[in-house]
Chains A and B, each alone.
Chain A
Amino acid sequence: MIRLHDLTKSYRVHGRMREVLSGVNATFGRGEAVGILGRNGAGKTTLLRLVAGVEMPTRGRVERGMSVSWPLGFGGAMHYSITGADNARFIARIYDKPVAETVEFVEDFADLGEYYRMPARTYSSGMLMRLGFALSMAVEFDCYLVDEAIATGDGRFAERCRQALETIRGRSAILFVSHVPAMLRKFCTSGAVLRDGKLIRYDDLDQAIAAYNAA
């Protein structure tokens, strides 16, 4: 269970404080797959970063009753100066996973070929995303925070991501942020709309999409 209590975040923009999230309250349960819709700049990324604990709220708090991934689909989380394989070793050590298995799993999943043994700074943004996603799959979190970027496109990897999300949906919660309603229909069971710093949840995904399109 993840509970957001009065979650508020402001950033300093050109010397003035701008409130991106203004008191978000929500509960996400185990096994739920929630699609969070929001326009560009609505604060989707900020919300994921706060839930992940990458950044701290200005006010309010996040209660995590299960293990939560880092936000997927943005890069981050990786070391650019070391190889993909070394990144896998590092993640395995941090999250208490068997090192050899993790290295093998990530190699297989990320499908980076010989780049896997080269520094991550030589990767394209697509490759970084693949590495990041593969690393998070190796850790096996209870809840995944996913940006739509990870599953868009028609490449082999996007297809594999979609399949992976499909399989983890049974055992893990997914918070999937997007501004394209069609993406949500693939994985999500319920929806929410982020607008004006507030999050409104809908039990029915279609209701959420209708509300999003209406605004």
Chain B
Amino acid sequence: MMAGGPSALPLREAFRIQRRVIGALLMRELSTRFGRENFGYLWLFLEPLMLGGAIGLVHHLSGHGLPGNLNPLVFWVIGYVPYYLLRSVVNRAPSAIFGNQSLLYHRRITVLDIMISRNLLECAAVLGTMSVFVLAFGMIFGEWPREMPKIIIGMTLMLGFAHGLALLIAAGSVYSDLFERLTHLVTYLSLPLTGAFFMLFWLPTELQQAALWIPTVHCFELIRNGQFGTVVPTQYDIGYLLAWIAALNLLGMAALRRARRDLVV
């Protein structure tokens, strides 16, 4: 590590600087992404709100019932909104470093700070959207979440997973354009596998076992458990999910640190 940089400071001072830097980055990200015109910051919520609402509505109107007699609109929205978080965090990762290179002129700003602030903002927006939907479903259909904390924990774990993945992709993008080209394709193709739009109990037992290897499946099951309670059976293992999150984040931070050394600004 470079001497004299933030790393040479006492830990408390280093954290204070990091908090300050992330705060400043959040403010900047807000004004650059959404500007001050038209709806401005409101777009942060409106984008996932409209997408989630539209997806939910299409399935609601198409009139197919769901196993367990779940409200289709609620089911699709509750799946789509966390998926939106995963997708936007991962899809925005390849451009995170190159789009912010001028920030790296300031030694206080680390690549990790940039990633954290971008993803926190994304998460805040999606949490806002989720609250609006949950409130609306409660008031319109009387479908209040059975256990709200589980929804929040599920979303937070989704952020942790997506963030770790994003760190690795951002680090990779320093070495190859491939990440930029393939990320959108892969997130698009993997949509059916993430667990956003199916429930474990719909699947035959063997397929259930296979699906449980996929970490995001646990996220969606947890969130649905929070929304629907025991009306439908759910299965998830928070420990398994946490292990994934820890591994991705540790690897991601190590990769990012290496990539920063090789980065030509």
The one of A11, A54, A95 in contact with B105, judged by C-beta atoms closer than 8 angstroms, is A54
Tell me whether B21 and A94 are in contact (CB under 8 A).
yes
Given contact pairs A54-B104, A79-B102, A94-B109, A62 touches B4 in the complex (Cβ within 8 A): yes
User: At the interface, yes or no: A86 with Cβ under 8 Å from chain B?
Assistant: yes
User: At the interface, yes or no: A55 with Cβ under 8 Å from chain B?
Assistant: yes
Contacts of B104 in A (CB 8 A): 54
Given contact pairs A62-B2, A62-B4, A81-B32, A53 touches B264 in the complex (Cβ within 8 A): no
Tell me whether A94 and B32 are in contact (CB under 8 A).
no
A95 to B262, CA, bound (A): 26
Tell me whether B265 and A54 are in contact (CB under 8 A).
yes
Q: How many residues of A contact B (CB 8 A)?
A: 30
Tell me whether B24 and A82 are in contact (CB under 8 A).
no
Q: How many residues of B contact A (CB 8 A)?
A: 26
Tell me whether A64 and B105 are in contact (CB under 8 A).
no
Contacts of A71 in B (CB 8 A): 105
Contacts of A53 in B (CB 8 A): 2, 5, 107
Tell me whether A70 and B106 are in contact (CB under 8 A).
yes
Given contact pairs A53-B107, A94-B21, A64 touches B264 in the complex (Cβ within 8 A): no
Tell me whether B28 and A63 are in contact (CB under 8 A).
no
Given contact pairs A77-B106, A79-B32, A82-B32, A90 touches B3 in the complex (Cβ within 8 A): no
User: At the interface, yes or no: B186 with Cβ under 8 Å from chain A?
Assistant: no
Given contact pairs A55-B264, A55-B265, A79-B32, A94 touches B3 in the complex (Cβ within 8 A): no
User: At the interface, yes or no: A179 with Cβ under 8 Å from chain B?
Assistant: no
User: At the interface, yes or no: B60 with Cβ under 8 Å from chain A?
Assistant: no
Contacts of A63 in B (CB 8 A): 3-4
User: At the interface, yes or no: A56 with Cβ under 8 Å from chain B?
Assistant: yes
Tell me whether B105 and A68 are in contact (CB under 8 A).
no
Given contact pairs A70-B105, A70-B106, A93-B23, A49 touches B4 in the complex (Cβ within 8 A): no
User: At the interface, yes or no: A114 with Cβ under 8 Å from chain B?
Assistant: no
List residues 15-32 of chain B with CB under 8 A from any CB of chain A: 20-21, 23-24, 27-28, 31-32
Contacts of A86 in B (CB 8 A): 28, 31
Tell me whether A78 and B102 are in contact (CB under 8 A).
yes
Tell me whether B24 and A52 are in contact (CB under 8 A).
no
User: At the interface, yes or no: B260 with Cβ under 8 Å from chain A?
Assistant: yes
List residues 1-21 of chain A with CB under 8 A from any CB of chain B: 2, 11
Tell me whether A56 and B2 are in contact (CB under 8 A).
yes
User: At the interface, yes or no: B64 with Cβ under 8 Å from chain A?
Assistant: no
User: At the interface, yes or no: A65 with Cβ under 8 Å from chain B?
Assistant: yes
User: At the interface, yes or no: A170 with Cβ under 8 Å from chain B?
Assistant: no
Tell me whether B106 and A64 are in contact (CB under 8 A).
no
A86 to B5, CA, bound (A): 25
A132 to B265, CA, bound (A): 17
User: At the interface, yes or no: B184 with Cβ under 8 Å from chain A?
Assistant: no
Contacts of B21 in A (CB 8 A): 94
Write the chain A residue with the least CB distance to B33.
Answer: A81
List residues 176-204 of chain B with CB under 8 A from any CB of chain A: none
Tell me whether A90 and B107 are in contact (CB under 8 A).
no
User: At the interface, yes or no: B50 with Cβ under 8 Å from chain A?
Assistant: no
User: At the interface, yes or no: B12 with Cβ under 8 Å from chain A?
Assistant: no
Tell me whether A82 and B31 are in contact (CB under 8 A).
yes
Q: Ordered nearest first, which 5 A-B pairs have the shortest CB separation?
A: A64-B4, A93-B24, A77-B105, A53-B107, A70-B105
Give the A-binding residues of B (Cβ under 8 A): 2-5, 20-21, 23-24, 27-28, 31-32, 102-109, 260-265
Given A56-B2, A56-B262, A90-B27; 9 other pairs, CB 8 A cutoff = A53-B5, A62-B2, A63-B4, A64-B5, A68-B4, A70-B107, A86-B28, A94-B109, A96-B20
